[in-house]
Amino acid sequence: MQLFEVGDLTLVRVLELEFPLGPAILPIGRDPASLADSCAWAKPQFVTPAGDVVFALSTIGVVSDERRIVIDPCCSFDLRRDNPDIEERAAALLDDLLPEAGFAPQDVDLVLNTHLDGVGWNVRPGPDGWVPAFPKARHVWTRLEIERARKGEEEAQRRDLASLAPLTTAGVVDEVEASHRVTSEISFRPSPGHSIGNVDIWIESRGESAVIVGDHVLNPMQCADPDWAGLDQLAEAAPRIRRALLSECARRNTLMIGPHFGTPGAGRVRPHGDAWRLEPEPAR
């Protein structure tokens, strides 16, 4: 795990998996080799020396206002639920890694999600089907994201709604505004792009700040190329909002944390040419 201090708070990044993605998968819409060549600063943490995107699955834990909070367990594989090792994978994160990091699922009060395109480890397999993975917690998404799934116009939306069902049936989902304040130190901020109801999650304490970007920034190479649309559903809006985010992070020296960034999973945005780069943050 990696620990980052932000003012009075300690953020814990719990890494589930990390692997190089083949060039055919990411970056979408860009020539991976030339993009990686122009991002020497991203190697080897965020791009392999061979030019493959390093892709991680991670979850962030933080305690704020005496509430034990887990952020973005949704950013994990959700599509291969028939995987024979799905129970082992759930147990590895939920029964080993998160408790070791001080976030045993039964002690978690709040689960915050930047967006909904599958629920990842908000749920886990039980004897009679999928159940909430954090049994005492409220699970928070923006109303816009859940409404989008409810419309069910596309297969992906119907799948999202089905994956959410164990939580909605248990009555443990809170639908909030995109500018929702979670605690005195944590707030949602709308960042429509990856999806319409997507948010960045800001953490601010004693003049320091961090932002968890979900899938809004999939890989730090998007600092150098904010127009790279990645998996954005709103391909026109996303680059503009990403530029505004990167500019603010650079100006405020904000720690940017990406659930899918290679280890250490976080960095400081610095001006670089006519765009930015991400300076990997040393973690404890």
- Residue closer to Zn ion by CB (options 67, 77) is 77
Residues facing residue 62 across a β-bridge? 69
Q: Convert residues 196-225 into a mask of x (bound to Zn ion by CB under 5 A) and - (unbound).
A: -------------------x----------
The Cα–Cα gap between 136 and 143 comes to: 21
For position 52 contacting Zn ion by CB under 5 A, the verdict is: no
Left, alpha or beta for 173 (phi > 0: left; psi -120 to 50: alpha)? beta
Residue 5 or residue 78: which is nearer to Zn ion going by CB? Answer: 78
H/E/C letters for each residue in 159-209? HHHHHHHHHHHCCCEEEECCCCECCCCEEEEECCCCCCCCEEEEEEECCEE
**Residue count, binding to Zn ion (CB under 5 A):** 2
Q: Residues 61-100: x/- map of binding to Zn ion (CB under 5 A)?
A: ----------------------------------------
Which range of residues in 109-117, 122-130, 216-224, 243-251 is near Zn ion by CB under 5 A? 109-117
Residues 215-274 that bind Zn ion (CB under 5 A): 215
SS3 245: helix
Task: Give me the least distance between CB of 27 and Zn ion, in Å please.
Answer: 15
Supply 274's token pair.
Answer: 């006519």
Sole binder of Zn ion in the list 52, 72, 117, 185 (CB under 5 A): 117
CA distance 282 to 13: 13
The residues in 13-42 that bind Zn ion, with binding defined as CB under 5 A, are none
Amino acid at 119: V
What's the Cα-to-Cα distance from 280 to each of 200, 219, 256, 263, 265, rounded to whole Å? 19, 12, 10, 9, 8
Options 45-53, 55-63, 116-124, 161-169: segment touching Zn ion (CB under 5 A)? 116-124
Question: Closest distance between Zn ion and the C-beta of residue 198, in Å?
Answer: 8
Q: Which residues bind Zn ion (CB under 5 A)?
A: 117, 215
